[in-house]
């Protein structure tokens, strides 16, 4: 399973794992969007701590999930980024709309 989804209160945790690239992102996107549509969390927490590799497809993945979740009124946060993944995320300016945390803590 490349993404493990767990609901806790109003928070939906998505623990991503493996490589995130243009090939693997669509399956992740679909699973997370389906869970968000069904559960309508107040906070979506995308946890990258088990991700082994990420290129700029990870930015698209976060941006798209932020938009989808915001359409239902939810916020999105990102945690567990490797230094390299964090560098890519920051290049995109995503930090203006999504909060970056060290560890998954919900909200």
Partner 1 sequence: MEKINEFRMTLWAKSVNEGFCRAAVAAFAAQADPTAEEISDIKTAVSEAVTNCIVHAYPHTDGRIYLSCQLYRDGRLRISIRDTGCGIEDIKKAREPLFSTMGGDRSGLGFSVMESFSDKMLVRSRPGKGTTVILEKRIRGRT
| Nearer to partner 1 among residue 22 and residue 40 (C-beta) | 22
Q: Between residue 78 and residue 107, which ones bind partner 1 under the rule CB under 8 A?
A: 82-84, 87-88, 91-93
- Report whether 13 contacts 35 (CB < 8 A): no
Q: Which of 39, 49, 63, 97 binds partner 1 (CB under 8 A)?
A: 63
The contacts of residue 96 (CB under 8 Å, 6+ apart) are: none
64 binds partner 1 (CB under 8 A): yes
Closest of 18, 100, 4 to residue 59, by C-alpha: 100
19 binds partner 1 (CB under 8 A): yes
61 binds partner 1 (CB under 8 A): yes
Range in contact with partner 1 (rule: CB under 8 A) among 5-13, 20-28, 69-77, 95-103? 20-28
What is the spatial distance between Cα 102 and Cα 75, in angstroms, rounded to a whole number?
A: 17
What is the spatial distance between Cα 56 and Cα 79, in angstroms, rounded to a whole number?
A: 16
Q: CA of 76: how far to CAs of 23, 67, 73, in Å? A: 23, 9, 10
57 binds partner 1 (CB under 8 A): yes
Q: Which residues bind partner 1 (CB under 8 A)?
A: 19, 21-23, 25, 29, 53-57, 59-61, 63-64, 82-84, 87-88, 91-93
């Amino acid at each position: 399973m490349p993404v493990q989804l767990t609901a806790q209160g109003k928070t939906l945790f998505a623990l991503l794992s493996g490589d995130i690239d243009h090939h693997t992102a669509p399956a992740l996107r679909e699973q997370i969007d389906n869970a968000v549509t069904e559960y309508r969390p107040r906070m979506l927490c995308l946890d990258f701590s088990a991700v082994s590799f990420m290129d700029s497809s990870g930015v698209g993945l976060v941006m798209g999930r932020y938009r989808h979740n915001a359409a239902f009124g939810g916020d999105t946060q990102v945690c567990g980024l490797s230094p390299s993944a964090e560098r890519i995320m920051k290049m995109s300016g995503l930090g203006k709309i999504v909060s970056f945390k060290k560890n998954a803590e919900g909200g």
